[in-house]
Amino acid sequence: MLKIVVLRWGHRPQRDARLTTHVVLTARALGASGFILSDTKDKKIKETIEEVTKNWGGPFFFEMGVPWKKVVKEWKSKTGIVVHLTAYGENIRTSDVLQRIKTSEKDVLVVIGSQKVPKEFFSRCVSDFNVAIGNQPHSECASLAVFLDSFFEGKELTESFEKAKMRIIPQKRGKKIVRK
């Protein structure tokens, strides 16, 4: 099975903490293997994600503070590909970009920004694919969710997480959580 890791660029701790946390939770819940918060550190997000993974299961890793250029260079040197999610890329539904990503049979680093990304992100030296989830302005959290769900064809929504101490029991009404 191919591995997908998410790289978040441009996190501003005073402004983006809640959305970045939601992006990490989305990545984890929808099948990514891990998350890298580049170029900055935010201990609160790290603590939150580690607590969620401890209680709700994994595997899922979280790294932070690594320069994005280093992450991309190392990823590509290990024969992985880089997918940049942007409103300006090839539309995930009207092009064959998702099929080309899958048939590469390489692990995927998904790059998302929290603010306007440098032009360099669109270049071949950074991104192997520039993918749009619709060609309108949208949230990076929403684009990541649609990308992961499309990539895994919905199968990630039925996966069990290893070593979970808590599990939600689906039902028509109310909330039911089982604790181990």
What is the CATH number for 102?
3.40.1280.10
pLDDT tens-digit profile of 45-104?
Answer: 999 999 999 999 999 999 999 999 999 999 999 989 999 999 999 999 999 999 999 999
Which residue segment(s) compose the domain that 108 sits in?
4-179
**What pTM was estimated for this model as a whole?**
0.95
163-170, Cβ contacts within 8 angstroms, sequence gap of 24 or more: 163/57, 163/58, 164/55, 164/56, 164/57, 165/54, 165/55, 165/56, 165/57, 166/55, 166/56, 167/56
pLDDT tens-digit profile of 154-180?
Answer: 999 998 899 999 999 999 999 999 998
- Which structure tokens are listed for 122? 């669109």
Counting the structural domains of the chain, the total is: 1
